Amino acid sequence: MTHPLRIAVLSAWHVHAEEYGRAAIDHPDTELVAVWDDDAERGRELAGRLGVPFEADLEALLAREDLDGVTSTTATTDHDEILGRVISAGKHVFTEKLLSPTLEGCDDLTSAAEAAGVQITVSLPRLAHGYALALREVLEAGRLGRLTYSRVRLAHNGSTADWLPERFYDPAEAIGGAFSDLAAHPVYLTQLILGEEAATVTASYTDMTGRGVEDNAVVTITTPDGAIGVIETGFVTPASPFSIEVQGTAGTVQYDDAEKRMRLGTADGWEDLPLPADGPAPFDQWVEAIRTGVPTSENLARARALTALTIAANSAANA
């Protein structure tokens, strides 16, 4: 294997394509060598910004012996085909969420990667943030008692301010709107809090800007133990700081991203909880997995659970 690891960006379809390309440029153990896109104009534009060549032939790119891995930011509905080809070529995969539109696709990709000896990591970045690490410590210590309720909100103004690309509203490519994209973060955080098993899933989706997919969404789950989880997202919110609230029989945790503050409330009153430094980002975890050969197993399990709840929510909204 070459050193540093040589990485290519597959597609500028997703808005995070340049971010992941720059991660490959900035990481001391990786080097960005090319961009591919099925839309040549879009791919050349990204390649120009990143300062690397554009490769129009995906087969030729994947056949390169000096290519070690890819960052995948293709359309969600292309993940099964494109990532399958990458894995078959023996290249490692760092991918934007969702890993696959289906659970079968998740399982097929992870099984193929294991058989091929390549590493997959999905971009679930907020699990590595300091507030998530602090929250996990509180939960594992049982300081909240029996959990009764959680609420996680993440929204922006991508639709009302018109900065999201139109392809984000194409269900044939994106499989949905705000919930299938932005809600991924509050979904996997909710699953961190309440667990991955949902007894019921209900969904309310609206299309405020008339683009044909949801840009305003609330999903509510219940757990087998009776806790309620509320997941809020949307592309129509000009000012709504990311926030987390968790309630239990013995305490409450609240996090407000605007103030970068996490508080714990119990019968003894309120206290500010220190926020640790962020842990390794998903891209860094992926590079480490390639170097050591140890899969990012928790990441992949959470990516599969994310797909499962997204499917259930979309089904509930369309029922």
What are the pLDDT digits (tens) for 190-230? 999 999 999 999 999 999 999 999 999 999 999 999 999 99
| Same-domain check for residues 84 and 131 | no
Smallest Cα–Cα separation from 253: which of 137, 80, 83, 113?
Answer: 137
The last residue of a domain, from among 61, 87, 118: 118
Smallest Cα–Cα separation from 304: which of 28, 55, 140, 105?
Answer: 105
| Same-domain check for residues 154 and 106 | no
| Same-domain check for residues 110 and 170 | no
| Same-domain check for residues 68 and 28 | yes
What is the CATH classification number for the domain harbouring 134? Answer: 3.30.360.10
| Same-domain check for residues 274 and 138 | yes
Q: What is the mean pLDDT of residues 47-53?
A: 98
pLDDT at 2 over 60: no
C-beta separation of 22 from 171 below 8 A: no
| Same-domain check for residues 44 and 149 | no
Q: CA 231, CA 217: separation in Å to the nearest integer?
A: 8
Q: CA 60, CA 306: separation in Å to the nearest integer?
A: 33
Residue 68 lies in a domain: yes
Residue 42 to residues 11, 82, 308, Cα–Cα distance (Å): 8, 17, 31
pLDDT confidence bin for 173, thresholds 50/70/90: confident
Total domains in the chain come to 2
| Same-domain check for residues 170 and 260 | yes
Mean pLDDT of the chain: 97
pLDDT score, position 171: 84
Tokens encoding 53: 């060549």
pLDDT at 132 over 80: yes
pLDDT confidence bin for 167, thresholds 50/70/90: very high
Smallest Cα–Cα separation from 153: which of 244, 83, 79, 60?
Answer: 244
| Same-domain check for residues 167 and 268 | yes
Residue 258 to residues 152, 253, 274, Cα–Cα distance (Å): 14, 16, 16
pLDDT tens per residue, range 32-44? 999 999 999 999 9
| Same-domain check for residues 136 and 270 | yes
pLDDT tens per residue, range 296-315? 999 999 999 999 999 999 99
Residue 293 lies in a domain: no
Q: What is the mean pLDDT of residues 164-186?
A: 92
The last residue of a domain, from among 61, 84, 118: 118
Residue 299 lies in a domain: no
Percent of the chain's residues with pLDDT above 70: 99
Residue 294 lies in a domain: no
Residue 97 lies in a domain: yes
| Same-domain check for residues 16 and 52 | yes
Domain extent, residue 163, equals: 126-280+310-318
| Same-domain check for residues 39 and 60 | yes
Smallest Cα–Cα separation from 230: which of 244, 243, 218, 217?
Answer: 218
Q: CA 149, CA 143: separation in Å to the nearest integer?
A: 14
Q: CA 103, CA 12: separation in Å to the nearest integer?
A: 25
pLDDT tens per residue, range 268-293? 999 999 999 999 999 999 999 999 99
Question: φ and ψ at 245, to 5 degrees?
Answer: -135, 130
| Same-domain check for residues 81 and 166 | no
What is the CATH classification number for the domain harbouring 50? Answer: 3.40.50.720
Question: φ and ψ at 218, to 5 degrees?
Answer: -135, 130
Residue 292 lies in a domain: no
The last residue of a domain, from among 93, 118, 143: 118
pLDDT score, position 175: 87
Q: Is the pTM of the predicted complex or chain greater than 0.95?
A: yes
